[in-house]
A and B are shown apart, each in its own frame.
Chain A
C-alpha cells in the first residue's frame, strides 16, 4: 500500500482544485431542495392552470401532495445524479494512463493497488457524503411541510438505493481497471445496468436483481419489505466487493 495516503490526499485536492467538489456540492443541494419543492408547488401549479385546462375540458379537483410525492420525486431524481457522477468519474483512471500523469508517480513507488483504492475511495466518499446531504435536505423539508404517515421506512429505502449506487460505482471502477478509454468504461457500466433493468421485466427473478434496490417507493409505502429483496441485497453487496477486488487485481496486470 505504498503511497496510499499522499495519493488519496492528492485525489481530494484534485476534486477541490478542478471544481468538482463545488459542482457536486451544488448539484446535491439543488436536488435535495428540488424534490420537496416540486411536491409542494405541484398543487399550486395545477390550481393556476385549472382555469385554462377547464376550457379544454379537463377538470382538476383537489390536487394534494403528501410526503410520499416528495420522496417519489427524490428517488426518481437520484438516477440523474448517479448518471452525471458516473460520466464525470469514468475518466478518473483511464485519463491518468492516457495522458501519462500516473507514470511518474508509479515509478516513484506508488503501488498500483494504492492508486486504484485512492481513486475508488475518494469518489465513494464524495458520492456518499453528497448523497446523504441531498437526502438530509429532502428529509428535513419533507418533515417540515408534511408531517403525515404516507411513507414508512424511508431511511432503509434510501440506504438500499445508496448500496445500489455504490455497486454501480464499483462496477465502473472495475471497467476502468481494464479499459483504455472512458467511453469503454461508460459502455461497460451502462451495459451492466441496462441488462439488470431488462431482466427486471421477468418478475420471477426480480428479487435477485440489484436493480430492485431502486424500487424505493414500494419499500416506502410498505408494498414490499426489505426481507422480500434480501437476495438482491446480498447479490448487490457481492458484486460491489467482487468488482473492487477484481479491479485491484487487474490494475496490477495492466500494460502501461
Chain B
C-alpha cells in the first residue's frame, strides 16, 4: 500500500519555479530517501504535504486521504521533524512530550507510557534540564521523540542529520532505523552516505521534478560502469600517465579513468608497464550515489 502519493505537484514563489510537476510515492513500511541539493524544493514539498504551504496545482494523498492546505486532518497520520526543530525552552523534554500528547488527543495513561518509552529511545530519559540548554543533537533527538509520540504511520524528517557532528548523525540514523518497524519514513537529505546507510527507496529531486528514483541498488546499477583510480609512486608521473591513458587527474593527484571496462583496465595496465611508471595503488572504485547525484544534476 502507498502511504504517501504525490501527483503533479507544482509550486512557484514569484517568478521562481520550485516544483514543476513533482510525482512520487512512498510504500508502507519503507524508508524513503528524498535527495536534492540545497534549495531544490525538499522542504517546500514537505511543507505542502503537511498543509503548511499551498500548492499551485497537484494532488497529495496520505493513507488514501487528500491533503488540504491549512489545518489538514491527514496530519493525524504524520509525525514531522523540521530541519531545525525549535521547542519551548522553558519546558523539560518530558513536559514537552506531554503537551504534544495532549494536543494529539491521546489518553493520559498512554501519554505517560509513550513519553517514558520515547525518552528512553532517544536517550533523554535522565535529562532533567530545560530545553533551552540543549545542544543541537539533543534537540534533534527530542524532535524525533515528539514526531513519534502518537505512533504516526508516516514520519517526515527534513534533513535530520545535516547540522550534526558524526556522532550525532550516527545516533539519529540509528533512531530512525529503529523506528522503521512501526512507521514509514520519508527522509530528505543531501548527505548521500546517510541514504546508503538506511534508505530502501530513493528519489533525486532536480529542477522541480524527480530526476531518478528506485531502490539504492537500482540507482547504483544505473551507472554505466565504475571508475579506476591509479596512484603513482612519483607524483611527477601523474601528468604523463594521464596523457597516455586519456584520463583525468583529481586534486590529490590520483589518475581517474572513467567507466573503466575490463578491456580498458588491461589496456591501462599494459600502457603503465610499457612506460615503466611505478604505481603505488590501483583501485576499482564502486559507483556510489554521490557520483550518480553529480551526473544527475549535471556537475
Q: Which residue numbers of A lie inside 8 Å of B, CB to CB?
A: 2-3, 6-7, 9-10, 13-14, 17-18, 99-101, 103-113, 252-253, 255-256
Contact = CB atoms under 8 A, between A and B. Distances in A.
Contact of B50 (A99, A100, A107): A107
B71 A111 contact: yes
Interface in B37-91: 47, 50, 52-54, 70-71, 73, 75-76, 78, 80, 82, 84-88, 90-91
A17 B99 CA distance: 15
Given A103-B52, A109-B76, A252 B71 contact: yes
A111 B84 CA distance: 22
12 contacts: A2-B71, A3-B104, A101-B88, A103-B80, A104-B87, A104-B147, A106-B71, A107-B78, A108-B104, A109-B73, A109-B105, A110-B103
A99 B73 CA distance: 24
A108 B105 CA distance: 10
Q: Is the interface of B mostly helix, strand, loop or mixed?
A: loop
A81 to B, nearest CB: 24
Given A107-B78, A109-B76, A7 B103 contact: yes
Interface in B209-249: none
Contacts of B82: 100, 103-104
Given A17-B90, A109-B105, A252-B70, A104 B84 contact: no
Contacts of B73: 109
Interface of B: 47, 50, 52-54, 70-71, 73, 75-76, 78, 80, 82, 84-88, 90-91, 99-100, 102-105, 143, 146-147, 149-150
Contact of B85 (A3, A100, A111, A252): A100
Nearest to B99: A10
Contacts of B105: 2-3, 109
Contacts of A7: 103
Choose among A18, A104, A110, A253 the residue with the greatest number of B CB atoms under 10 Å from its CB. A104
Contacts of A103: 52, 80, 82, 86
Contacts of B71: 2, 106, 109, 111-113, 252
Most chain B Cβ neighbours within 10 Å, of A2, A100, A109: A109
B88 A107 contact: no
A14 B88 CA distance: 9
A108 B85 contact: no
Contacts of B85: 100, 104
Contacts of A14: 88, 90
A83 to B, nearest CB: 25
Contacts of B54: 255
Contact of A107 (B80, B84, B91): B80
Given A6-B102, A101-B86, A107-B80, 11 more contacts: A3-B105, A17-B91, A101-B87, A101-B88, A104-B82, A108-B149, A109-B73, A109-B103, A111-B71, A112-B70, A112-B71
Contact of A105 (B50, B78, B100): B100
Closest 10 CB pairs of A and B: A6-B102, A17-B90, A3-B103, A100-B86, A107-B80, A256-B52, A111-B71, A99-B86, A108-B103, A101-B86
Contacts of A252: 70-71
Contact of A109 (B70, B99, B104): B104
Contacts of B75: 107-109
Contacts of B149: 108
B34 to A, nearest CB: 17
Given A107-B80, A255-B53, A256-B53, A6 B90 contact: no
A252 B71 CA distance: 8
A14 B82 CA distance: 22
Contacts of A10: 88, 99
Contacts of B103: 2-3, 6-7, 105, 108-110
A231 to B, nearest CB: 37
A246 to B, nearest CB: 16
Residue of B78, B99, B104 with highest tally of chain A CB at under 10 A: B99
Nearest to B78: A107
Q: Which of A17, A100, A105, A108 has the most CB of B within 10 A?
A: A108
Contacts of B143: 104
